[in-house]
Chain A
Amino acid sequence: MLTLDEIHEALRHLTLDQRSTVENWLDELDRVSIQSQVREARPLYFKADARFMTLEEFLELEERSPLRHEFVNGAIFAMNGATVAHQRIVRNLSTAIDTRLKPGRCEVFSSGLKVVIQRKSNEISYYPDLIVDCRPDTRDTRYLRDPKLIVEVLSPSTQLIDRREKLQNYRRIDSVEEYVIVTQDIRRVTVYPRVECWRPRVYWGIDAAVELRSIDLTIPLAELYRGAEDAWQSRSARSEQ
């Protein structure tokens, strides 16, 4: 069997196409292993909330409910709790944007504010990890409709939703210029910009800086991931025990 080093070496000799194939294999293996690692006790498997409701009923429910839910065309889905690394990344990014933004024009919101999408027959409400909004709208103070930038920090149990479903739906918001996905357990940030037809740009590595062109800011990954590495180290220490 090949060692990790031998695989590394072998990868250097592959074509781009072949490397894509290897990446897909890795994705697939991770999906299987994420399943076996999920910490929650099968939270959503068919015991999901069978309630079916209108958007207005959902908004009223959320005001009363101690749990937060996402709403997708009538169905509601309970949200999972976050990890320490997740919260640190969100806080770092929120602070980084907040201190650099020119005063007055735009505002950063993190954790717990809804974005509502109503388009054609779709009615959707999500809680993004971070939102930059530059069009204050006072019609309904329970949620935002016209954000400029949306960020999701990936968690094992929801990463496919963030990369697949939410990418599709955030694109449907006319005001959204960039959608950003931050990987929680390695330094990797993917930016999907509207002006580039949503073609992803990937930033990684120790001295990289992510460019958020929608708000004209550049943020070093070292700053974004500050403190998050500690949580990774304790995680691998746990898995070695």
Chain B
Amino acid sequence: MHSLDEIHAALKQLTVDQRITLGLRLRELDGIPSLGNQVREDQPAHASSDPSFMTLEEYFELEEKTPLRHEFINGAVFAMAAPSLNHNRIASNLLLAIHPHVKRDGCQVFWSGLKVVIRQDLNEISYCPDVMVDCRPDTRGTHYLREPKLIAEVMSPSTQLIDRREKLQNYRLIESLEEYVLLAENERHVIVYSRAEDWKPRVYSRLDAAVELRSIDMQLPMIELYDDVERPD
């Protein structure tokens, strides 16, 4: 029998239409007994609950088992896109620039897709931001943060709408959060949303500008943030 890895490799060779067919086929399989999983509840034909719907606990378990990272929004999980070189360059430029300064103030910088968990009313959300600053050691779980002071995301074309709309809305719910920073990966463009300014965006795009991060009391030159980044026109 073919392994999951073989299937994963094969998926990449399919056309969009074939993948759509396969996606449909997968849903259909969820309605009939599968050979790998004999015990199934009776279900009405052609209707099923979404198999990928889960609790936050189940999501944490999934994240420990799978090689792919996911975000979690009220029961639904979404696989994260792999970062590009520019994405990584910008995130590490930011990280290196703020790290010594933030440490001096007794805070810590977290990166590499550490999770932040947001619980408010009926909402349970887990995101994996690119960079976070946390100054409240008491509120850290072992695998996630709850009360960061600063969150930064590097935006790719496929995530920019989510970063600017959904995540802005949800990060604002974190009471400790003072600033949310978005850095475009394909051009020199930084947006800072600050609680003190009622989340009204400040935009930086000139090469000689310096991004002001009031939450950690720093000025970051654009030229430093976009150092080594290709084609930031």
Contact = CB atoms under 8 A, between A and B. Distances in A.
B143 interface: no
Given A52-B200, A204-B27, A122 B169 contact: yes
Nearest to A77: B165
A46 B187 contact: yes
Interface stretch (A32-40, A59-67, A92-100, A142-150): A32-40
A220 to B, nearest CB: 11
Chain B, interface SS category: mixed
B96 interface: no
Interface in A1-21: 1-2, 4, 6-8, 10-16, 18-21
21 contacts: A2-B7, A12-B34, A12-B35, A13-B1, A14-B36, A19-B26, A21-B66, A25-B79, A28-B68, A72-B168, A73-B169, A121-B172, A165-B162, A165-B165, A168-B166, A171-B74, A190-B50, A199-B53, A202-B48, A204-B28, A239-B15
B7 A22 contact: yes
B162 A16 contact: no
Contact of B73 (A164, A207, A208): A164
B231 interface: no
Contacts of B157: 35, 42, 45
Interface in B34-66: 34-37, 45-53, 66
Contacts of B13: 1
B81 interface: yes
A33 B13 CA distance: 12
B104 interface: no
Contacts of A190: 50
Interface in B161-217: 161-162, 164-166, 168-170, 172, 184, 186-187, 189, 199-201, 203
A210 B132 CA distance: 43
B22 interface: yes
A166 to B, nearest CB: 9
Nearest to A27: B79
A213 interface: no
A186 B200 contact: no
Contacts of A34: 158
A4 B22 contact: yes
A142 B84 CA distance: 43
Contacts of B2: 2, 6-7, 10
B160 interface: yes
Given A21-B68, A45-B157, A186-B20, 6 more contacts: A34-B158, A45-B160, A74-B200, A164-B73, A199-B53, A200-B49
Max chain B C-beta neighbours (<10 A), residue from A1, A45, A169, A198: A45
A185 B20 CA distance: 9
Interface of A: 1-2, 4, 6-8, 10-16, 18-35, 37, 42, 44-46, 48, 50, 52, 72-75, 77, 121-122, 160-161, 163-165, 167-169, 171, 185-188, 190, 198-205, 207-208, 211, 236, 239
B160 A46 contact: yes
Max chain B C-beta neighbours (<10 A), residue from A4, A77, A187: A4
Contact of B165 (A19, A32, A161, A207): A161
Nearest to A124: B169
Interface of B: 1-2, 4, 6-30, 34-37, 45-53, 66, 68, 70, 73-81, 122-123, 157-158, 160-162, 164-166, 168-170, 172, 184, 186-187, 189, 199-201, 203
B7 A10 contact: yes
A3 B34 CA distance: 20
A73 B199 contact: yes
B164 A29 contact: no
Contacts of A14: 4, 34, 36
Given A21-B4, A29-B12, A164 B166 contact: yes
Contacts of A72: 165, 168-169
A161 B161 contact: yes
Contacts of A165: 162, 165-166, 169
B136 to A, nearest CB: 22
